[in-house]
Structure 1
């Protein structure tokens, strides 16, 4: 009976499926239920890690004995703009928020962010969020503060009501990427400062220096932005050509040797400089104007390692 309430046996099957590591869609398929029914059942009864079938069944019984509940707040845009069942949209919100929470995002922050993403306007007031999520304004405020610190949402004043609205922009993930890259640079600078204080020849200093090198490379790679697979292949080909030649070459010489158009070589050389992670553990550098060669990355080895190698 796909449209009926979940039975005690259904809930035991859900618990068994979660224990096996099955996804909501597979559990729903086995029970002949909508995926949203399973995700909503798990979300309101402790989540994937805390779901208990007996407790869930008893809690459902208690809710059924209560007086008629007030109408559930509809997700803004669910019935009209989405063209879907509001319950299906609500189930998606809970399921997606659960997925985000499993990656380390606080549960309430994940629910707030998912709600903002699933509205056409991309913005909601604190009161709307509290009503939609059925939580206190204080819970919303704490979640909003967390998301603002990550630069994932912004505040905007509604000129009509003068109320603050919380919004997500289309470039939210690009801004979050940039913020993360900047934080990696801060980690690198702090670790390198520590390496100087403790001396990189000591275990603690060497550990801090390695940490600084790691976050420096990570920050450089993130700050330079993404690159296509084809562009990455061009970089590696130019790199292989310079290694094989074992002597500095101009872009024109590389183009002739590779049989490429000059602009393809120029772009590949530019990408090699902008994306040092692609050429690690070596780097493409200029020996003189217009001439390129390959050298070891200066940040791949610590000071102590370079000194030891020079003595070998």
Structure 2
């Protein structure tokens, strides 16, 4: 029932739904649960590719035991809220194409008050290996979703998420569309517009050219509005 804990049988139905390729919304409707419940459940128990009902049930029991041993106070409640938000944001980002570890690193940065962490900070917070964090950071830097700053006091690099992160990432994606459009145009010219493959490439080039320019225009409009601020 909504508001109550998931049962073992419900977790089996979640695992079955994931195996069949059902969306979180479809699974939630079948179980008469909020989609956020399914999203959080899957995210905290291995993700859509690693979710197993038995392991999820056991992990829930362990969390409940730890919770009973931990005194209830505001800080503990706050940490639990942040963990839940991280799990939900991670699950959402995975659906956009990010790997699970890359999504976890990005979610951790977004929900940190400072908006910046070192690789060591991320390793401790996520309880993963330095190599996993390093690879995720490389992927995020390539997509321009984070930026690197040197911390002169600690002689370490800090990885920063700021208001312009998605703006930069959006522009990087727009540039990729422009490159793809140019390739498609050159391919169409090489194959000849009268061939089926040439005509197909021409249409692809026109599409990505249009989308790329529209993305850049939308990003610039957002940037101008953001710089003006509320009521600008």
RMSD: 3.2
Instruction: Give the drift of 1:53.
Output: 2.5
Mapped partners of 1:208, 1:48: distance in 2: 34
**1:1-312 → structure 2 map (5 Å cutoff):** 10-16=7-13, 19=17, 20-22=26-28, 27=33, 42-48=42-48, 50-58=50-58, 79=75, 85-225=78-218
Instruction: Give the drift of 1:84.
Output: 5.7
Instruction: Give the drift of 1:16.
Output: 3.1
Query: Which has a greater percent of helix?
Result: 2
| Structure 1 alignment gaps of length 5 or more | 1-5, 30-34, 69-77, 229-312
User: For this pair of structures, how many residues does the alignment match?
Assistant: 198
The structure whose Rg is larger is: 1
TM-score w.r.t. the length of structure 2 is: 0.73
Listed one character per residue, the Cα deviations across residues 42-77 of structure 1 (whole Å, up to 9, x for unaligned) are 43432245433223335667x69xxx9xxxxxxxxx
- The DSSP-based 3-state class of the residue aligned with 1:224 is helix
Listed one character per residue, the Cα deviations across residues 6-60 of structure 1 (whole Å, up to 9, x for unaligned) are 7xx723224436745218xx7479xxxxx78x76654343224543322333566
Q: Larger relative contact order (C-alpha < 8 A, sep ≥ 6)?
A: 2
Instruction: Give the drift of 1:172.
Output: 1.2
TM-score w.r.t. the length of structure 1 is: 0.56
When residues 184 and 46 of structure 1 are mapped into structure 2, their CA distance, relative to the original with a 3 A threshold, is: same
Instruction: Give the drift of 1:215.
Output: 0.9
When residues 194 and 39 of structure 1 are mapped into structure 2, their CA distance, relative to the original with a 3 A threshold, is: closer
Listed one character per residue, the Cα deviations across residues 72-93 of structure 1 (whole Å, up to 9, x for unaligned) are xxxxxx95xxx96101211210
| Structure 2 alignment gaps of length 5 or more | 18-25, 67-73, 223-232
Q: Is the contact made by 1:39 and 1:91 (CA closer than 8 Å) also made in structure 2?
A: no
Q: Is the contact made by 1:15 and 1:51 (CA closer than 8 Å) also made in structure 2?
A: no
Mapped partners of 2:155, 2:12: distance in 1: 47
Q: Is the contact made by 2:90 and 2:107 (CA closer than 8 Å) also made in structure 1?
A: yes
